[in-house]
Amino acid sequence: MRSLWRIPRLLVAVVLLVVACGDDGGSAAPDTTLSAAAEEGREIAQQYGCMSCHSVDGRDGVGPSWAGVFGTEVELDDGTTVVADEEYMTTAIVDPNAQIRAGYRGIMPERQLDPAEVEAIVTYLRELGPDEAAS
């Protein structure tokens, strides 16, 4: 029976190693609840270092968390409220200072992403949103 314990312990060691090596502190293990397109978006976002400012667990960092935002109403610093839909998220990525979330500073760097990359990230954001947003 003792040898059976070796396998899980090895797995834990591997997982810890993978997490520790992630350059952005985010989880490096593939998230199996995501569609293939969203998983691609997650990888792209990680590559570009987006997760150094955006968490996916609801905790706000330098930027707002990506968890549960898509499809909900967000407040902008000019006092207006908008729905964080595909268009809003796309603009937020390609032209970060066009609309600034209330309570945040417009310090998000502008990155040259190609449209397919932006689309994949937006798909990821949609799948991170509350369930209603998926419909």
Contact residues: ligand HEC, CB under 6 A = 45, 48-50, 52-54, 62-64, 69, 74, 84, 89, 92-93, 96, 100-101, 104-109, 111, 121
Is-contact 53 108, C-beta < 8 A?
Answer: yes
| CB nearer ligand HEC, residue 13 or residue 134 | 134
Residue 69's nearest CA partner among 77, 57, 52, 53 is 57
**Minimal distance, residue 23 CB to ligand HEC, in Å:** 13
**Minimal distance, residue 28 CB to ligand HEC, in Å:** 17
| CB nearer ligand HEC, residue 84 or residue 133 | 84
**Minimal distance, residue 97 CB to ligand HEC, in Å:** 6
Question: How far is residue 10 from each of residues 3, 58, 98, measured CA to CA in Å?
Answer: 11, 30, 48
- Which amino acid, 61? G
* Residues contacting 117, CB < 8 A, separation 6+: 41, 44
| CB nearer ligand HEC, residue 30 or residue 106 | 106
| Separation of alpha carbons 117 and 105, rounded Å | 24
| CB nearer ligand HEC, residue 63 or residue 71 | 63
